[in-house]
Amino acid sequence: MAMMHHVFGPHFLGAPLFPGVPNLVLFILLGLGVWYFLKRDKQTESQAPHSKDSSISETQDLRDEINQLKKENDLLRELLKRDLEKK
């Protein structure tokens, strides 16, 4: 029993970082905090939409936007060409 007190006593891994709080308690709290945040990150990843339907609709939306931008680019080139011919 005396050996357990010596190993896990208030001076576990050196002097206490905060007076009156053993380092073992601080390490346990630190471990619980890391576990909580890792668990929370996994939950938010699983809630993110990964369905195939949404990716297909996003791809179609991007293709539609690209086609619209190509049309606008062609019109702007034509207007620029006309403007340069006038001058």
pLDDT tens per residue across span 6-29: 666 666 677 777 777 777 788 899
Confidence (pLDDT) at 73: 96
pLDDT at 68 over 90: yes
Confidence (pLDDT) at 55: 78
Give the CB-side neighbour count of residue 42, counting CA atoms within 13 A. Answer: 6
Among 45, 48, 9, CA closest to 25: 9
Percent of the chain at pLDDT exceeding 90: 34
pLDDT at 38 over 70: yes
